[in-house]
Amino acid sequence: MTEKLSEETRKTVLKPLFDTGWAMVDGRDAIHKTYVFDNFVSAFGWMTQVAIWAEKWDHHPEWDNVYKTVNVTLTTHDVDGLSALDAKLARKMDGLFGGGAP
C-alpha cells in the first residue's frame, strides 16, 4: 500500500526535485512543474512517453498542454498527499525531458 511521505522523508526525497524546478502547490500537498518544449509535437511526444510510465505504475498526473507548454501537478489521491510514487514519476518526467529544469 502506498503511504504519505513523512516529514523526515520529504526532506530527502523532495529537495532534489525542488532543485530541478518542482515546487509545492499552495493549499495542497502536491508538487507542480511547467515544462516548455520547442513545439507542440515535442510536448505531445513527451506526454505520450510519460503516459506509458504512468500507466505502468498506475499513477497518473494532473496535467494540461497548451501548444508547447505542459503544466504538471503530482499528488497521490489515495493518501491525500505526496507519496514516493509522486517523486518517482517526477524523476522519470525530468529524465525523459533531459534530466534538468526546463
11-23 pLDDT tens trace:
999 999 999 999 9
Q: Is the pLDDT of residue 97 over 50?
A: yes
Distance CA 31, CA 26 (A): 9
Q: How confident is the model at residue 40 (pLDDT cuts 50, 70, 90)?
A: very high
Here the cell at position 18 is: 525542488
Note the pLDDT of residue 81.
Answer: 96
Which residue in the block uniquely carries the three cell numbers 504538471? 72
Query: What is the torsion angle, in degrees rounded to the nearest 10, for the CA atoms of residue 20, residue 25, residue 30 and residue 35?
Result: -40
Note the pLDDT of residue 102.
Answer: 42
Here the cell at position 57 is: 505504475
- Under 8 Å between Cβ of 37 and 68: yes
Q: How confident is the model at residue 47 (pLDDT cuts 50, 70, 90)?
A: very high
49-91 pLDDT tens trace:
999 999 999 999 999 999 999 999 999 999 999 999 999 999 9
Identify the residue with better confidence: 102 or 31.
31
Angle of CA points 16, 84, 69, to nearest 5°: 60
Q: How confident is the model at residue 100 (pLDDT cuts 50, 70, 90)?
A: very low
